Amino acid sequence: MHQYYVYTGFYTFLKDALKKALPPILLVVAAIVLIHFFVIDLNTALQYVIDNYSNLLVLTLFFVSESILGIIPPELFIAWSDKTSNPILYLTLIAILSYAGGAVSYFTGRATLKIPSVHNYLEVKMEKHLKNARKWGGFLILVGALLPLPFAVASLAAGMIRFEFKYWALFGLARFVRYAIYGAAIFSLVS
């Protein structure tokens, strides 16, 4: 098995993916810490959101963000859920909405392939990269689901490479693991 991974370039793919994943992870953590200590106390900001905005509005904003390239870091919503009247319920809801937003992105990727110029570009210019992406698409989805990288981007890419939906749905379940782990960590920080 090891020889197969060496031959197919999986280890190189994995190393490159990790090199690209580590800086955003560190940046998100550093940004949250810097904002908390030097800009505004996150507990105060989260309490302001809870006092002034409905939970439905916050959840809707989160779903839209998770459906459109994951614009707003989910860690902020995880911290928000800790300040609600029922943290576990709201953490579960945002995990479900994140998964559903990923599905929206997946089908957006599939629909994008119907645009002739996009289809031609992917099939002709990106042929070599598509071959590897299709081969290791499950890994791509797991990375997007577990790490603080936009899950919507990984899901969009999975749809564009025509990765089977049933496998996307299976690998995407790792998103719930991420929310459980991050929820436990963030709840202990912002409480």
> Is the predicted pLDDT of residue 20 greater than 70, yes or no?
no
Residues listed for the chain: 191
Q: How many degrees, rounded to 5, is the angle at CA 122 between CA 154 and CA 23?
A: 35
Convert the pLDDT of each residue in 71-127 to its tens digit. Answer: 788 888 998 999 889 999 999 999 999 999 999 999 998 998 888 887 777 777 666
Inter-residue contact 79 to 28 (CB < 8 Å): no
Tens digit of each residue's pLDDT (9 = 90 or more) over 135-146: 777 777 887 788
Most confident of 22-36, 45-59, 113-127: 45-59
Please state the pTM of the whole predicted model.
0.75
Give tens-digit pLDDT for 165-189. Answer: 999 999 999 999 999 999 998 888 7
